Amino acid sequence: MSKHVVILGGGIGGIATAYNLRRMDSSLKITIVSGRPYFGFTPAYPHLALGWRKFEDITIPLANLLPKFNIDYVPENGESIDPDNNKIRTTSGKEIEYDYLVIATGPKLVFGAEGQEQYSTSVCTAEHALELQKKLEEFYADPGPVVVGAIPGVSCFGPAYEFAFMLHHELKKRGLRHRVRITYITSEPYVGHLGLGGVGPSRRLMEDLFAERSINWIANVKITKVEPDKVIYEDLEGKQYEVPCKLSMLMPRFMGPEVVASAGDKVANPANKMVIVNRCFQNPTYKNIYGVGVVTAIPPVEQTPIPTGAPKTGMMIEQMALAVAKNIVNDIKNSADRYAPELSAVCIADMGGDAAGFFAHPVLPPRATVKHKKAVWMHWFKSAFEKYFLWKVKSGNISPFFEEKALELLLGVHGVRLCKDCSGSPGTC
Amino acid sequence: MSKHVVILGGGIGGIATAYNLRRMDSSLKITIVSGRPYFGFTPAYPHLALGWRKFEDITIPLANLLPKFNIDYVPENGESIDPDNNKIRTTSGKEIEYDYLVIATGPKLVFGAEGQEQYSTSVCTAEHALELQKKLEEFYADPGPVVVGAIPGVSCFGPAYEFAFMLHHELKKRGLRHRVRITYITSEPYVGHLGLGGVGPSRRLMEDLFAERSINWIANVKITKVEPDKVIYEDLEGKQYEVPCKLSMLMPRFMGPEVVASAGDKVANPANKMVIVNRCFQNPTYKNIYGVGVVTAIPPVEQTPIPTGAPKTGMMIEQMALAVAKNIVNDIKNSADRYAPELSAVCIADMGGDAAGFFAHPVLPPRATVKHKKAVWMHWFKSAFEKYFLWKVKSGNISPFFEEKALELLLGVHGVRLCKDCSGSPGTC
Amino acid sequence: MSKHVVILGGGIGGIATAYNLRRMDSSLKITIVSGRPYFGFTPAYPHLALGWRKFEDITIPLANLLPKFNIDYVPENGESIDPDNNKIRTTSGKEIEYDYLVIATGPKLVFGAEGQEQYSTSVCTAEHALELQKKLEEFYADPGPVVVGAIPGVSCFGPAYEFAFMLHHELKKRGLRHRVRITYITSEPYVGHLGLGGVGPSRRLMEDLFAERSINWIANVKITKVEPDKVIYEDLEGKQYEVPCKLSMLMPRFMGPEVVASAGDKVANPANKMVIVNRCFQNPTYKNIYGVGVVTAIPPVEQTPIPTGAPKTGMMIEQMALAVAKNIVNDIKNSADRYAPELSAVCIADMGGDAAGFFAHPVLPPRATVKHKKAVWMHWFKSAFEKYFLWKVKSGNISPFFEEKALELLLGVHGVRLCKDCSGSPGTC
């Protein structure tokens, strides 16, 4: 009888895993469990917030999409996992048995600063971005100072930089820039750290990009509180400061959602409830459970004075999805070959007119290669990639042959690597 | 009967105001009161000091010039202002009644460090520049270390940078550079601050320009004393240091001259005796008194550990002169329209072979636009602008149509802006 | 009777002096005393260590070479100098009388950190480089972290930078870069100081070059101890840190060898046993003794928190050799003309694919000119220069006419300068 793979989550990680599995094994039974009824291209949420994209442009309803590829769709969230009995329960109480479980839920957002959820905004979900879009319309009518930043524990800094740059661009276009003081406040030890310990000369590059745009920055501090008209932060000595603002966009930190926690301490990392995985992105205890995407527990690149985490960018998630799909299919086929994702980060911060891109390979040092580039074409490349990726999702083409070849040629990177032994931290092999 | 506008000062501010008024109203009676018998192109005084310009090249005698445009000329300084009776008294005791008074005297120079006036030099007046020219001739015969810098409270740093760069260039040409240690000592919190809180990445740019020329720098300190063979400065903790030098050029700080103080505390800012103005550059108490140029009281861009002020560059002064002329003419015509200058700073530091330029718009943050450029053509542009400006003064063309258009096209700046309400600080609207 | 010039040392300094003398005076008796049987092109020793050059490619046996130019060769080291009786004794006890003595032995290497000689490696001699080559072969089979750096008192930092860059390049080529953390640890106050107080914006350039290659750096510290698996260093407060490493390459500091010390305190600087010279590179006490190259005592460019010295690069040594040869020949001819070398430093750090070059003229500030350049052609230029120099040595052409012309045209530098008075520090005139 054909095996059943259940995938929690219908985002980049879940979809990419499902498509890879389908491509490798047409008879496999695949089920995606996702309470969110659409696939969303998360890197475009800042664009959604600024009204540069419409919701329909960057999302695809799952109910229409998945049946085309013979993937079952359960339009509910997972509520609990019973790893000892190989089944999950959904929010409506439905039980689903699995042979393999892939956890790709994405993160639970933690608005760790007092008042952050109430008085600040985010671009981490389409809903937040749409809410911010509305607030921005009011803001343009009566502008004032803006704070953009990241609270302690954040692992995903790119959208904060991107939002600061893009807001600058939008305000210029509207002739309002001279009425808005923009301040970037971050838990990174320095601007350009990006949770990555820097990527080549990213500190200098980011400082210059901010300076050229008259964006002020304050690094190595903890945002502790948001009030309707100010953001309050502390330095390392605990001294408090406040920055007035009419609008703020602060990145939350990420942890694993309750459904992961329900699986117990052998699946959920006690510290952050993310999925414990080995270098093949398989749970070391329950060998038929895998993790893909932001919900997996990856160690930080380096200790920072104020805690920060390593980002999991789109390329890393695609690499995880490919490795996990290969590992499941090989397990079914009784092949001993196991794959580990290379975990290379590509990060392109759109700035409206142009864009700044970084490439770090591998993400966890020592690094073989770092690259950086600021160029107008990067802005167009990012837009083109968005269209290409949405095309891939609509047409079911994840990791097509020519993409792997391009990565190899351009960046010298392979998506995944054959690994003798899966035990060991993610990112090594 | 035609109204009488009296203008104190025959520099860029006074001349530009007079020409604008004449262009807008050919019947107006205009009188310029200036003890200095010539118009001087102040940005070229460093060039005068280095012998790269002759005095005749960059000055125009007022006595020949003004009558051509039907502007009366009183070759004396103002001694006192009686704002309640609408008249001024000159140094010879002559009384002149006015309908409108424009104060455009330029600053009184304050050599605040002990021994500065005696043992150091400046490029703030043509006389100082000529004196420095002589000292330099002796210096070349027997060179030694040089200090260039700015004492606490300075608002005009550009000429100090320019002099350091140009002296480097001149010493190279003379084959003497290896015998002269050049040190730049400043009250700015960092090199490239410029009294402007920096202009984009001006810190990095200036540090590189100094490093490439082997010019050492010491920032965030107070020069307290000049002796014949050394400059003495203090750090923030009050610790004293000395730098040996054979020659020094130190920018003085600026305050309003006695004639402004004589008008009382409602005209002269008690702190620095500069003219109190609203955003339309009109005195809020005596509505028929206006200020133009360096003598007006503008708040600093930001508080610095050691006090510094905001520069008032040529472009800002031209914008003030245009706004004030429009406001006077509209007042005469009983039009309620009032204009505020945009206050955009263009600052080009000549370096001999090439030049570094900065553009900040508006000067007071938040800023819509900052630009910077280092190029050989900037050097020639600055020279060309000097010739163009002197042509403008000789021919009476201030703010001609094509210049306004060029600014709009190139920099997106308007000279002045129609303002509903004149109350409020300069630089806002 | 023809005069006898004895030269201690057969490296760049000794050979260049001998060739210059022979060119100027074909009848002079010249003897080179050198226990090392070959001339080695020291700037290529890092290349030898990495296996990019063979020993035969960059060395020339002296025994075959010198007779061609009528230069006597004594294949032993000098053991002692008797300056009062104008003779030296070699290690075998042979006594050689001289009319003029040129000390060009090169330095004695001081491995000042505990365990440095035992557990670390160097590229200062061909033997060390060959030993390092062997260690690297083992290292590639099982790589780990690497430390590259310089202990307190080092004056020659270039090869350390070069080795770090070149090792990065080699590891990339071998696909091993992601398994090797490279850390640069130095006594320089900042990266890019180079013992030269920086050369223009060398700090920024070096920081960027390191950042682009993911090489970490720690500056302004003292390496105190090397253990088989770690390097231990202290900060200015004496706090200790350690960096794990599987391989280290640490520059030793230089002092004068025993043979110089044997000549007494009037020849050997008490502090470092290097040869005391005046600006003409003549000993002030014994006027027929000269010094050339690394063995001469030159003051540091500036005091640094942790001691560092000024490097003596190839170009400086060639300038010294030319000046000393001219001075000896003029002394023989009873001409009063004496020459001082200009002491301009050219330093090209090869990085495998490209190279970074610095030019400082003069080495001791104030400097007339500093230049810097990073380019692919610099890499090829350095290789071409190596071939050219080895051709010069083989063919006896030192300081040929067209080379002097090229320097004048390209860099505005003369090799030597006629000096009225030889008393005074090296590097002045």
> What would the pLDDT profile of B88-103 be if each residue is shown by its tens digit?
999 999 999 999 999 9
Using a CB-CB cut-off of 8 Å, the residues of chain C touching A201 are 207-208, 211-212
Query: Do residue C365 and residue B214 have CB atoms under 8 angstroms apart?
Result: yes
The one-letter amino acid at A367: R
Gyration radius from chain C CA atoms: 21
Q: Hey, what amino acid is at B338?
A: R
What is the predicted pLDDT for the residue at C399?
Answer: 64
Compute CA B331 distance to the chain's CA centroid, rounded to the nearest angstrom. 28
Question: pLDDT tens across B302-347, in order?
Answer: 999 999 999 998 889 999 999 999 999 999 999 999 999 989 888 8
Amino acid found at B315: M
Which of C177, C204, C211 is facing A200, going by the closest CB pair? C211
Q: Which chains touch C (3 or more CB pairs under 8 A)?
A: A, B
Which residues of chain A does C181 touch, with a Cβ-Cβ cutoff of 8 Å? 365-366
Contact A214 B361 (CB under 8 A): no
| ∠ Cα B296 B297 B302 (to 5°) | 135
Residues A112, B269: Cα–Cα separation, whole Å: 48
Q: Do C201 and B211 touch (CB under 8 A)?
A: yes
Residues of B in contact with C200 (CB under 8 A): 211-214
Q: Is B214 within 8 Å of C370 when comparing Cβ atoms?
A: yes
- B208 vs C204, C367, C369: nearest CB: C204
- Which of these, B206, B197, B369, lies nearest to B299 by C-alpha position? B197
Give the pair of three-digit tokens for residue C117.
Answer: 């000689």
- Which of these, A58, A53, A57, A59, lies nearest to A36 by C-alpha position? A59
C-beta separation of C173 from C137 below 8 A: no
Active-site hit among B124, B245, B280, B347: B347
> Residue B316 has which token pair?
């800002």
Domains within chain B, CATH numbers bracketed: 4-106+256-418 (3.50.50.100), 109-253 (3.50.50.60)
What pLDDT, on a 0 to 100 scale, did the predictor assign at position B399?
65
What values do phi and psi take at B357, rounded to 5? -120, 150
Three-class secondary structure of residue B138 per DSSP: helix
CA distance A204 to chain B (A): 10
The helix or strand, by DSSP H or E, that contains position A5, with its residue range, turns out to be strand A4-8
pTM of the model: 0.90
Task: Write out the two tokens for C28.
Answer: 């002079």
Nearest-Cα distance to chain B for A209, in Å, is 8
Residue to substitute from A370, A417, A429, interface C, most C β-carbons within 10 A: A370
Q: Are residues B198 and A182, on separate chains, in Cβ contact within 8 Å?
A: no
Q: What is the four-CA torsion angle of A250, A253, A256, A259, rounded to 10 degrees?
A: -30
pLDDT confidence of residue A324: 97
Does the distance separating the beta carbons of C178 and A201 come in below 8 Å?
no
For residue C197, the chain B residue with the least C-alpha distance is B214
Nearest CA in chain B to A145: B366
Q: Cα–Cα distance between B299 and B425 in angstroms, integer?
A: 8
Nearest chain B Cα distance for residue C370, angstroms: 6
Task: Compare all CA atoms of chain A with the CA of B365 and give the residue at the minimum distance.
Answer: A178
In this structure, what token pair is assigned to residue A59?
């999302």
Kindly list the residues of chain A whose beta carbon comes within 8 Å of any beta carbon in chain C.
198, 200-204, 361-362, 365-370
Of the partner residues B203, B204, B366, the one whose CB lies closest to the CB of residue A214: B366
* pLDDT on residue B347: 86
Residues of A with CB under 8 A from a CB of B: 145, 172, 175, 177-182, 204, 207-208, 211-214
The Cα A243–Cα A229 span in angstroms is: 9
Residue among C28, C37, C65 at smallest CA distance from C397: C65
Residue B264 vs residues B34, B35, B96, C427: alpha-carbon distances, Å: 21, 22, 18, 62
DSSP state of C16: H
B323: phi then psi, degrees, rounded to nearest 5? -65, -45
Bridge partner list, C109: C254
- Could you tell me if C200 and C359 are in contact, meaning their C-beta atoms sit under 8 angstroms apart? no
Identify the pLDDT of residue A428.
Answer: 76
The minimum CA-CA distance between B202 and chain A, rounded to whole Å, is 8
Task: Please name the helix (run of DSSP H) or strand (run of DSSP E) that holds residue C136, with its range, or none.
Answer: helix C126-141
Chain A: list its partners (3+ Cβ pairs within 8 Å).
B, C
Angle of helix C202-212 relative to helix B202-212, nearest 10 degrees, comes to 120
> Which residue in B has a C-alpha nearest to residue A175's C-alpha?
B368
CB count, 10 Å around CB of C124?
A: 19
Option in A198, A365, A368 nearest C211 (CB) = A198
> Per-residue confidence at B400, pLDDT binned at 50, 70, 90?
low
Tally of CB atoms within 10 A around C253: 23
Interface test with B, best of C203, C359, C363, C369 (most B CBs within 10 A): C369
Which residues from A are below 8 Å from B201, CB to CB?
A: 207-208, 211-212
User: C-alpha distances in angstroms, B233 versus B241, B244, C209, C224?
Assistant: 5, 11, 36, 37
Each residue's pLDDT tens digit in chain A (429 positions)? 789 999 999 999 999 999 999 999 999 999 999 999 999 999 999 999 999 999 999 999 999 999 999 999 999 999 999 999 999 999 999 999 999 999 999 999 999 999 999 999 999 999 999 999 999 999 999 999 999 999 999 999 999 999 999 999 999 999 999 999 999 999 999 999 999 999 999 999 999 999 999 999 999 999 999 999 999 999 999 999 999 999 999 999 999 999 999 999 999 999 999 999 999 999 999 999 999 999 999 989 999 999 999 999 888 999 999 999 999 999 999 999 999 998 988 888 899 889 998 999 999 899 999 998 888 888 888 888 888 889 889 988 766 666 677 767 777 777 888 988 999 889 877
Cβ separation A207–B200 shorter than 8 A: no
Q: Rounded CA gap, B105 and B97, in Å?
A: 18
Q: Of C347, C419, C422, C429, which residue is the catalytic one? A: C347
Q: Rounded distance, CA C191 to CA C211, Å?
A: 12
pLDDT at residue number B380: 86
| Set of chain B residues whose Cβ sits within 8 Å of the Cβ of A212 | 200-201, 370
Query: A214, A217, A243, A246: best mutation site toward chain B, by most B Cβ within 10 Å?
Result: A214
Amino acid found at C246: K
C363: closest chain B residue by CA: B178
Nearest-angstrom CA–CA distance, B416 and B264: 29
Identify the closest residue of chain C to B212 by CA–CA distance: C200
Q: Do A178 and B204 touch (CB under 8 A)?
A: no
C interface test, pick of B172, B177, B178, B203 with most C CB neighbours within 10 Å: B178
Residues B135, A46: Cα–Cα separation, whole Å: 61
Beta-carbon pairs below 8 A across chains A and B: 38
Does residue B136 have a pLDDT over 90?
Answer: yes
Which residue's structure tokens are 């269209």?
A: A387
For B182, counting Cβ atoms within 10 Å of its Cβ (0-12 exposed, 13-18 middle, 19+ buried), the class is buried
Angle at the Cα of C336 (from C334 to C339), degrees rounded to 5? 120
Nearest to A178 among B198, B201, B362 (CB): B362
**φ, ψ at A40 (rounded to 5°):** -120, 140
Of the candidates A204, A361, A362, the beta carbon closest to that of C208 is on A204
B107 DSSP 8-state letter: P
Region of poorest pLDDT, from B29-38, B47-56, B211-220, C420-429? C420-429
Counted residue by residue, chain A has a size of 429
**Is B422 known to be catalytic?**
no
Q: Count of CB contacts below 8 A, B vs C?
A: 39
Distance (Å, whole) CA B186 – CA B218: 6
- Is the Cβ–Cβ distance between C158 and C346 less than 8 Å? no
Q: What is the mean pLDDT of each run of 10 residues along chain C (429 residues)?
A: 94 95 95 97 96 96 95 97 98 98 98 97 97 98 98 97 97 95 98 95 94 96 98 97 97 98 97 96 98 95 94 91 96 96 88 90 90 88 86 80 68 81 86
Tell me which H or E stretch contains B408.
Answer: helix B401-411
φ, ψ of residue A294 to 5 degrees: the values are -65, -25
Of the residues B156, B280, B422, B429, which is catalytic? B156
Strand partners, A418: A339
With CB atoms and an 8 Å threshold, state whether A367 touches C178: yes
d(CA C273, CA C295): 8
Burial class, C225, CB count within 10 angstroms (exposed 0-12 / middle 13-18 / buried 19+): middle
- Cβ-defined contact of C177 to A204 (cutoff 8 Å): no
Encode pLDDT of C17-54 as tens digits.
999 999 999 999 999 999 999 999 999 999 999 999 99
Question: Of A175, A194, A177, nearest to A186 (Cα)?
Answer: A194
B156 is catalytic: yes
List, edge to edge, every strand of the sheet that includes B4-8: B72-74, B29-33, B4-8, B100-103, B289-291
Are C203 and B180 a contacting pair at CB < 8 A? no
Residue with token string 């027929």: C288
Phi, psi of A428 (to 5 degrees): -110, 160
In chain C, which residue's Cα lies nearest the Cα of B168? C368
- Cα distance between residue C309 and residue C302, in whole Å: 8
The mean pLDDT value of chain C amounts to 94
User: Cβ contacts (< 8 Å) between B212 and chain C: which residues?
Assistant: 200-201, 370
Contact state of B366 with A212 under an 8 Å Cβ cutoff: no
d(CA B225, CA A154): 51
**Closest A-chain CA to C207:** A201
